[in-house]
Structure 1
Amino acid sequence: MAAHTTVKGKRITGEARIKMAADLKKKYEKGASIRALAEATDRSYGFVHRILTESGVVLRGRGGATRTKTKTP
């Protein structure tokens, strides 16, 4: 993933925000995690999450093993 050249914590507005949102949306839809996108862009998890939801992305469920109840006969 190519990292953006933004300053950490600097407010992103206007055209730069629209471009970043489109880029993050494309990468997320190709399978990148929010955490990976946050690290690659030097932004927080919350920022990336907010940008994706503002862009209309349907977020995936959380990963990991799911627990199933053991059926007893």
Structure 2
Amino acid sequence: MTRKIPARRLAPGPDRDKLAAELKSKYDAGKSIRALAQETGRSYGGVHRLLEDAGATFRSRGGDQHRTES
């Protein structure tokens, strides 16, 4: 089976580090991994890996959960 679109792997180096830092900055500002994946045309796993390499602290799953005390 052949791929229609070639994989978008980034070799280790300054380009990868720069992209990882940019993604981390956006993630830290509140963007979701899914939104970043769509914005960059990369997979969820690829963005997650780049964020991990950049040292991001991941939020818990499920988005913001604001509870009000009754």
TM-score normalised by the chain length of structure 2: 0.75
Give RMSD over aligned pairs: 2.1
Q: How does 1:1-73 map to 2 (within 5 A)?
A: 9-13=7-11, 14-63=13-62
Note if contact 1:8-1:42 (Cα within 8 Å) is conserved in structure 2. Answer: no
The share of aligned pairs that are identical, in percent, is 52
* Structure with more contact order per residue of length (Cα contacts < 8 Å, sep ≥ 6): 1
Q: Which ranges in structure 2 are unaligned for 5 or more consecutive residues?
A: 66-70
Cα separation, 2, equivalents of 1:65 and 1:26: 18
Deviation at 1:16, TM superposition (A): 1.1
Number of positions where the alignment pairs a residue of Structure 1 with one of Structure 2: 60
Between Structure 1 and Structure 2, whose CA radius of gyration is higher?
1
Deviation at 1:54, TM superposition (A): 1.3
TM-score normalised by the chain length of structure 1: 0.72
